[in-house]
Structure 1
Amino acid sequence: MTGFTKWHKATPVAAAILLLAGPASAQDPVTWRMTHAFAETSTFYQLFALPFAERVAQLTDGQVVIQPYPAGVIAPSFEAYDAVLDGAADAVQSSAVNIVNRDPANALFSTFPGGMGPEALWQWMWYGGGRELLAEHRRETMDLHALPCGMGATELFAQSHKPLKTLADFQGVKFRTVGSFADVLTAIGAAPTVVPGDEVYTMLERGAIDAAEWGSPSENLKAGLHETAKYIIYPGVHTNAFFQEFAVRAELWDALSPELQGKVTAACELSSMDTLAAFDALDRKAWAELKQGNNEIVRLDDEVVERIREEGRKWIYARADEGDASGNPWVRKVAESYFAFYDDWIGNTSFRAVDHRAEPSAD
């Protein structure tokens, strides 16, 4: 048993779910091969895939076995969903940001530029209608059953060879990203480059790109990105929070008993809480280390942050208009739910205290 799983067992919510789960049914054990979107050494794989598989086995008393495979074993990162659709894998754990081109609604199920922060996104997904929309969307469009299953907090905005601070600083900047943020970068004058994460270090090191967004402080530190470029840019308004999802072929999910379906769902909800807490602990430690290092920390001007938020909304509603015209109702349907929740959150949480202050920025 990993230390991560020992930690989650001590939480009251996890203990309650384990208690309520009860004994497993007598049906034969089910084994699913799960491809993952990240490499074996990645924090995303270590904190998401491995503990989730262990938790499923624990909650189901071994009646459901998840066999996780890192990116590149069954399929490359960007082809993880296709591996399930083609039958090479039974299930996938990935961020839907990798399939935004399949349907722009996927941006809202994963990470959205200028979108919700961790607590708001978690509540929308699990208690605000997001989970139901995700399940319905996957059933209708991909013949999969999907659950939000692992969450991370705010990423660093960029590791950069240039001190990005104002809108003027973005003009012509070659910026690595994925998903809808590529179009947002174009709108503010940058030149986005969409490549898998395992190419980021080399491209930055060789100067093939000017800047790159990749992950949170702990993941960027682990990847050594601070060694490749002088400037660390924050806040990560492009990814205020993100979800991974677990998606399995619908016929395999439907073959489970309702009892086992409930236990796998509980495993995903626990994973959503635990990964967020674990990531946050790692990120605070990594941010403290990065601030003591040789990089320069640069804070984006508020004008840039607000412009990215504006361009993100403009992008999704432009895609909704296109969807309406082409007979795809999903973009608007998901966007209306997402932003109704987000606007309510913005309008009715001002009573809360703020527990952080902005870091001083290098001029």
Structure 2
Amino acid sequence: MGYDWGIDKTGVLFAGYAGGLTPEGYMLWMYKGGGLELWQQWRQEEFDVISYPCAILGTDIFLHSTKRIQTLEDFQGLKLRTAGAWADIASRLGASTVVMSGGEVYSALERGIIQAAELGTPEINLPTGLQDIAQYVIVPGIQNPGGLLECQVNKEAWSELSEHDQKMLKLAGKLSVFESWLDSSAADLDAFRELQEGPNEIVELEQSFIDEAARVTREWAEEQATGDPWFKEVLESQTDFKNKLKTWSEYRLPIGSLAD
């Protein structure tokens, strides 16, 4: 859905962007916070298709970089491969953004055409070998904390299905979201541990960088909402639910907090 960026920016609110939700947050908003109803209504009204979630992605690695990035000052002028909404937001934060396909990233990074690249989650990135040509692995992936993937069905074909079959397809999509969360979360754990145990340096962004990125992203999102009723409605719903999640840490322990 993020690739609909050039057609309808509302898609990034579901597919994942810098101001979005974590995978767990997306699932809660989608199935318990009204996100699914907005998703389906938007797709039908604007694209004339039946759509429902069928997979979810974890948090991206922020950067594979040949330059150590930790502060906003470090980020200034960085030749960065990215795509979608983050290309706009990152440039506002001072990076020199370059949009290219994922297949071009390794060569561009190796030849110095770019200094850093964001691509995907640890599981997705590890097989690309970016860690072999870029010393620094920058986390957390504030540009894409999580995101959903969709299944689409032609409306005419959908109408020919029985009500039972329609329910079964939507239920299968929901189960697939949960299964993909389990699979990707486990795979990301293993992939990130491999990066930690390798020769790369894992660098955590300073909180001041994260806070400024969040502020600039809010400004960006408010701009997109101006004159775009669907973007505005989905953003407001997502923001309200995200604010509701602020109490999460008050009664829930973070994953891994009790590890030795």
**TM-score bin (small chain):** over 0.9
Q: Where does 1:191-202 land on structure 2 (aligned, <5 Å)?
A: 191-202=96-107
**Paired residue for 1:287?**
192
Amino acid corresponding to residue 229 of structure 2 in structure 1: P
Alpha-carbon separation, structure 2, partners of 1:143 and 1:228: 44
Pick from 182, 188, 199: which aligns with 2:87? Answer: 182
CA distance in 1, matches of 2:182, 2:20: 20
Residue pair 1:114, 1:310 contacting (<8 A) in 2 also: no
Match of 2:160 among 255, 258, 263: 255
Is residue 204 of structure 2 the alignment partner of residue 299 of structure 1? Answer: yes
Q: How many residues align?
A: 257
How far 1:348 sits from its partner (Å)?
Answer: 4.9
Aligned-residue offset at 1:228: 2.1
Instruction: State the distance in 1 between where 2:223 and 2:63 align.
Output: 26
Alignment equivalent of 1:240, drawn from 136, 145, 162: 145
Unaligned runs of 5+ in 1: 1-95, 358-363
Q: 1:205: which partner in 2?
A: 110
Displacement of 1:349 in angstroms is 4.2
Aligned mates of 1:316, 1:251 — CA distance in 2:
34
1:135 aligns with 2:72: no
Give the whole-Å Cα distance in 2 for the aligned partners of 1:298 and 1:137: 39
CA RMSD, Structure 1 to Structure 2 (Å): 1.3
* Equivalent position amino acid for 2:54 in 1: C
2-structure distance, mates of 1:306, 1:350: 20
Whether 2:220 is the aligned partner of 1:315: answer yes
**Length-normalised TM-score, structure 1:** 0.69
| 1:157 correspondence with 2:62 | yes
Give 2:4's aligned residue: 99
* CA–CA separation in structure 2 for the residues paired with 1:316 and 1:114: 8
Identity %: 36
Report if the CA contact (8 A) 1:115-1:237 is conserved. Answer: no
Map residues 50-69 of structure 1 onto 2, 5 A cutoff: none
**5+ unaligned residues in a row in structure 2: which ranges?**
none
Q: Secondary structure at the match of 2:143?
A: helix
Name the CA distance, whole Å, in 1 between partners of 2:72 and 2:222: 23
Higher helix share: 2
Quote how far apart the aligned CAs of 1:114 are: 3.2
Q: Does 1:333 align with 2:233?
A: yes
